[in-house]
Chains A and B, each alone.
Chain A
Amino acid sequence: MELFDLTIHELHNKLIAGEVSSVEATTAMLARIEAVEPAVGSFITVTPEQALADAEAADRRIASGNADVLTGIPLALKDIFLTEGIRTTCGSRILHNFIPPYSATSWEKLRNQGAVLLGKLNQDEFAMGSSSESSAFGITRNPWNTEYIPGGSSGGSAAAIAARQALATLGTDTGGSIRQPSSHCGCVGLKPTYGRVSRYGVIAYASSLDQVGPLTRDVTDCAVMLGAVAGHDPKDSTSVDTPVPDYTAGLTGSVEGLRIGLPKEYFHDSNSRGGLDPDVQTAMDRAIETYRGLGAEFVDISLPHTDYAVATYYLIATAEASSNLARYDGVRFGHRSEQAESLIDMMTKSRSEGFGMEVKRRIMLGTYALSSGYYDAYYVKAQKVRTLIMQDFTRAFERVDAILTPVAPTPAFKIGEKVDDPLQMYLSDIFTIPVNLAGTCAMSVPAGFSASGLPIGLQLIGKPFGEETILRAAHAFEQATEWHTRKANI
């Protein structure tokens, strides 16, 4: 086994035992990145000097006996996380030259544990997309088959795990941007409950939906990473001040008596939305059998407003985005047009040149939804439907401990396949979007492969702040299956 194949907990044990140094592990990761990057394209920026300096510091810390679980572990971040002194682009030309003066709280927390930063990962521009094809810095390819997309928007974060370019990564999930690429790349990805992880220093797409979460090789690493970044942040008014449990301690391996809901709208009734891919259906059926064998009970449930989720999301998310992205005006940072003749012209041209097509489309959608005369019909109505969707989950969770669904209706699609069809692209998040609207937590766990060898993930949805439960269920499933041990041949 190569160093770059290790999980966090495996490398941690080796570091503590003195079998390997962080500098050695980091060097191995950097070599791996260099080797596979031309085929995959996970990174926007690789930071070898930073990584080696971090690793040296980590080795000193390990030697002094003060190591945390992430000390010396080489990680990478979606390029949406601000990293002081290191260019942060959010996949956009408008931030091609932006060097942040401060760091995101979640990165600060990892850094304080002594984590090593390998670089910044590719993504859809401003996290708007499901395929990682909208980045201004080129596309990312799926390591399982480079003809296919890795999913998005955290496509670089998932591809880097599948290609073993980092031991763990952070992504963000607004409508499925951690779970869907995790599913497509065969890694574990968790979107925490809204408010569980600070959003401070994370470039906003849709503030009421955005949430930071980890992408990892296995569930134990996911628990480690979540524990490291979760918690109240006084700098984020929407972060919640509720204790952070020891997520790894909760991985008991047992799901005996766990009641798992199967929402009919995600399975039988999904025909109206194009239906489930048969390979995905098979993977779900097998997963259900596995859980039954482990002693879990299944309950048929209904989430009746599921059909409205995508429409609701594309009103709320774009409305917030149209306002969040107003600050990119070329005045204080980022791209400034050289063609401008006046102040207003400078702002207009900088934005026209700096933003890509999908971002412009969503800014226009959102601006329209908030416009005088349309606000009630679109934004206000969407908020009401959001409440109904939230209530669907609240009612369901009166009967079950977790909900099992597919992450996406199909495995990864081909590069270019949906680029010109935004509606089809939007529908690939049909099973993940309701969770963001409800504000609760969910994760993607490897659950099989398609006939053509592409990974398929299952989604476990938990109660608000019920991350322990879904992690435990995911861990039990992982123990009983071998999907997570398979490696992309790259």
Chain B
Amino acid sequence: MKFQPVIGLEVHVQLKTDSKIFCGCSTRFGAEPNSQTCPVCLGMPGALPVLNKKVVEFAVKAGLATNCSISHHSIFARKNYFYPDLPKGYQISQFEDPICREGWLDIQINGEEKRIGITRIHMEEDAGKLVHNDVSGLGEGSGVDLNRACTPLLEVVSEPDLRSSDEAVSYLKQLHQIVTWLNICDGNMEEGSFRCDANVSVMPIGSDTLGTRAEIKNVNSFRFVKQAIEYEIQRQIDLIEDGGTVVQETRLFDPNSGTTRSMRGKEEAHDYRYFPDPDLVPLVIDDEWVERARGELPELPEHKRQRFIAEFGASEYDAEVLTASRGLSEYFEEAVAFHQNAKAVSNWIMGEVTRALNDSGKEIDQCPVTPRLLGELLKLIDGGTISGKIAKTVFDEMWRSGREPKDIVEEQGLVQVSDSGAIEAIIDGIMAANQGQVEEYRGGKEKVFGFFVGQVMKASKGKANPALVNELLLNKLKG
């Protein structure tokens, strides 16, 4: 029997607000344990939540960017369960009336476009975390750090529209790109700013009855998502083929072994006893608010990608790379504004700029060579002032000093030599000194041509106009 996997993802997106969702405490990562807490996020008796407006703005942005409809009326609900890292004994989340519903994302899979439904996006608070054995001053034992408690999260729930691990990863990458593009999430998966649970089931091909699903927790990298889903699909198929049945359960992914193991079964599943949180009034969002948010949305990656192809003649591949991040795409557009040779700008960004960024570990918005300076540099190349080879040297200097390329070129005397008399003189000298190679060339060994080009460029300290060198060399060698 052949099986069809069915996958849905629940993604937790930590929002990049300065303060927490229901109190004024800082959300900064990595601070001294419990230093960013107050009566509200500590769950002190009598403390009450007050909604951070910024979180609502971010949620609306995320909803609009994923084609959701924004609820005019949404409510917060309490999700009740006991755990030492959950200060109030309940998590404030949304249940029956989430802020966003019924959206979608189009993913590219094997060159084809596929629409993945988004069931809902809701706002909620994060829990704290338990720290074991290594708490300073506590010695052996466990501690609770509530700095993360009450940090704002969005939960983005997809429809079970994904049919393979590749589709799941593609969807996840696109969602990741959108939330970082919107600048509402830092996208850091290692720190848990973007994390994912996967619901996986399999059904015989041709069947229209969904199989029993397992929910896999703790998959916090694209690679792990792929691994976990593939392992789980195979586990379920093997189980069914061996005559067993899949049980509904929560499973934990173990990144070390690449396997999943049962965490709790259906019987042990929590009854969260959701009910509307009486401490928070219903959230009312009018059309005006939504439209203003829509107006403030940046151009989204998909739209930008297609525009780069249409407007700048970029290849599919180039457009994809240039829109990998909002910063990169904006850098490209700004540089093109200074120098209209889009192809050259694109090549340089994907080449030298990316290499230098990678080498230095910098992000595009920290690039010392601004888009204008890159444009100026390319102008010098296309205007024949310097060669592409020299330009790389100039670029390195610009990277170090942030100076104007024109100044560097002048100061270091890097202007390209396009004076044919001067170049001919160099050629003559080299031919005289290398009679043997001249004979070889004239005897039909055309490979030697490269040797002469190299010698001329060396003698001119790289400044000779390469096209001119080629042309003059050819003439002279042919004699």
Residues of A within 8 A of B (CB): 82, 88, 90, 95, 98, 100-102, 104, 199-204, 206-208, 234-238, 319-320, 322-323, 325-329, 331-333, 343-344, 347, 367, 370-372, 375, 379
**Which of B84-92, B169-177, B302-310, B369-377 binds A?**
B84-92
Pair B280/A82 contact, Cβ less than 8 Å = no
In the complex, B368 has a CB within 8 A of chain A: no
Q: Are B44 and A199 in contact (CB under 8 A)?
A: no
B402 part of interface (Cβ distance < 8 Å): no
Contact A379-B51, Cβ < 8 Å, known A101-B44, A203-B45: no
Measuring CB to CB, which residues of chain B are less than 8 angstroms from any residue of chain A? 39, 42-51, 78, 80, 82, 84, 87-90, 142, 144, 271, 273-275, 278-281
Return chain B residues, CB-CB under 8 Å to A370. Answer: 80, 273-275
Q: Among A104, A203, A238, A371, point to the contact of B271 (Cβ < 8 A).
A: A371
Check A100–B278 contact: CB distance below 8 A: no
Is the beta-carbon distance between B44 and A238 smaller than 8 angstroms? no
Q: A320-B278, A329-B89, A370-B273 are known contacts. Are A104 and B46 too (CB-CB below 8 A)? A: yes
The 8 A-B residue pairs whose C-beta atoms are closest, nearest first, are: A326-B89, A370-B273, A208-B278, A207-B278, A201-B46, A203-B45, A327-B43, A372-B271
CB distance from B55 to the nearest CB of A (A): 14
Give A323 to B88 CA distance when docked, in angstroms: 8
Q: How far is the CA of A88 from the CA of B46 in the complex (A)?
A: 11
| Contact present for B43 and A332 (CB under 8 Å) | yes
Distance A207 CA – B76 CA, assembled complex (angstroms): 14
B45 touching A329 by the CB < 8 A rule?
no
* Docked-complex contact A102 and B273, CB < 8 angstroms: no
Whole-angstrom CA separation of A406 from B281 in the bound complex: 32
Q: Are A326 and B48 in contact (CB under 8 A)?
A: no
In the bound complex, how far is the Cα of B48 from the Cα of A202, in angstroms? 9
**B281, A237: Cβ atoms closer than 8 Å:** yes
Main DSSP-derived SS at the B contact region: loop
Q: Which of A202, A323, A331, A372 contacts B46 (CB 8 A)?
A: A202
Question: Are A347 and B84 closer than 8 Å at their CB atoms?
Answer: yes
Nearest A residue to B130 by beta-carbon distance? A343
Check A332–B275 contact: CB distance below 8 A: no
What is the distance, in angstroms, from A148's C-beta to the closest C-beta of chain B? 31
Query: CB distance B47 to A98 under 8 Å?
Result: no
Partner of B280, one of A204, A206, A237, A329: A237
A326 touches which of B46, B88, B280 (Cβ 8 Å): B88
CB-based contact A236/B48 at 8 Å: yes
16 A-B pairs, CB-CB below 8 angstroms?
A82-B44, A100-B44, A100-B45, A100-B46, A202-B46, A237-B279, A238-B279, A323-B89, A327-B43, A328-B45, A329-B82, A329-B84, A333-B44, A370-B80, A372-B271, A375-B275
What separation, in Å, do the CA atoms of A204 and B44 have in the docked complex?
Answer: 11
A323-B80, A332-B87 are known; give 8 further A-B pairs, CB within 8 A: A88-B45, A202-B46, A207-B278, A235-B50, A323-B275, A332-B43, A347-B82, A372-B273
Give the complex CA separation of A468 and B299 in angstroms: 55
Smallest CB–CB gap between A378 and chain B, Å?
A: 11
A373 to chain B, nearest CB (A): 9
Give bound CA distance, A301 to B97, whole Å. 38
Beta-carbon contact of B46 and A82 below 8 Å: yes
CA distance A95 to B45 in the complex (A): 10
Residues of A within 8 A of B50 (CB): 234-237
- Minimal beta-carbon separation of B128 from chain A (angstroms): 10
Which residues in A have their C-beta under 8 angstroms from that of B78?
A: 323
Chain A residue nearest in CB terms to B34: A332
Judging by beta carbons under 8 Å apart, are A237 and B48 in contact? yes
Contact of A90 among B44, B45, B48, B271 (CB under 8 A): B45
- Given the complex, which residues of B lie within 8 Å of A90, measured CB to CB? 45
Q: Enumerate chain B residues within 8 angstroms of A88, measured Cβ to Cβ.
A: 45
Name the distance in Å between B419's Cβ and chain A's nearest Cβ: 76
Name the CB-closest residue of B to A207. B278
Give the residues in chain A near B275, CB-CB below 8 Å.
Answer: 319-320, 323, 370, 375, 379
CB–CB A327/B80 < 8 A: no
Query: How near does chain B come to A242, taking the closest CB pair, in angstroms?
Result: 14
Are B51 and A237 in contact, with the CB atoms below 8 A?
Answer: yes
> Which residues of A sit under 8 angstroms from B51, Cβ to Cβ?
237
Taking CB atoms, residues of chain B closer than 8 Å to A100 are: 44-46
Nearest CB on B from A352, distance (A): 13
Distance between Cα atoms of A95 and B273 in the complex (Å): 25
CB pair A82–B88 under 8 Å, yes or no, is no
Q: How far is the CA of A74 from the CA of B58 in the complex (A)?
A: 49
Q: Are A327 and B88 in contact (CB under 8 A)?
A: yes
- Looking at the assembled complex, report how far the CB atom of A348 sits from the nearest CB atom of chain B, in whole angstroms: 9
The smallest C-beta distance from A454 to any residue of chain B, in angstroms, reads: 34
